[in-house]
Amino acid sequence: MTTTRAVLFDFSGTLFRLEEDDSWFTGITVDEQEIDGHVQAELMRRLTAPTGRSVEMNDEQYRNWVNRDLEPHLHREAYLHVLRSSGIADDHARSLYTRLVDPASWTPYPDTAQVLTSLRHSGIRVAVVSNIAFDLRPAFRDLGVAECVTEFVLSFEVGAVKPTPEIFTIALDRLGVDASETLMVGDSEEADGGAEAVGCRFALVDPLPTDRRPDGLIRALAAAGVEI
């Protein structure tokens, strides 16, 4: 069995999930119609899908979208466009965007704290490697596990995005570990699976709602030989 000295984790859909509260949508309409559960779910999918694009974009809007996780202002413009193109009025789009970039809006998976705490006690180094344009550290502080994360490697801070090798190499260098001794855990084969190109192993988790995935991280790690 390969020795695991470090685990890299994706953030959205892996350790935490953006799960809407109905109050977010109070008074908000889509194309002047009240929002029902199906429409809410589709809006959240458009806001959290790790890859692809869900609305039409001109060249400038597409450039903003492609580079959204490198610059906060591009992130804002890209997601406001998605919301406006989904039929949300401008003031409501701005309100929903504020929710998106507020770490307090993100819900941890039921086993996130247990996994991070166990890895720390086992002496396994942890990095959160995320394509993101806002500081997510407060979410970990609120959960009481910030000290369990050795490094936060955030795209807008390091100037690189998954799946490019650079962001994974930065994480490995900061942790001081070899790729052969490192496991990447994420919900996107396309983005997070890019770690395999630099020699890491990869474990896929399903970005289900948090109440439907009570132990997905534990099971993914166990399958890769890391017992929690």
CA distance 146 to 136: 10
Mean pLDDT of the chain: 93
Every domain range in the chain assigned CATH 3.40.50.1000: 6-17+106-224
State which amino acid sits at residue 85. S
If you average pLDDT over residues 170-188, what whole number do you get? Answer: 98
Residue 35's pLDDT is 73
Specify the range with the lowest mean pLDDT, choosing from 3-7, 34-38, 120-124, 132-136.
34-38
Tell me the pLDDT tens digit for each residue of 198-228. Answer: 999 999 999 999 999 999 999 999 999 999 9
3-state helix, strand, coil in the chain (%, to 5): 45, 15, 35
- Residue 69 pLDDT level (bands cut at 50, 70, 90): very high
- The structure tokens 């809407």 sit at 20
Q: Tell whether the model's pLDDT for residue 39 goes beyond 90.
A: no
CATH number of 6-17+106-224: 3.40.50.1000
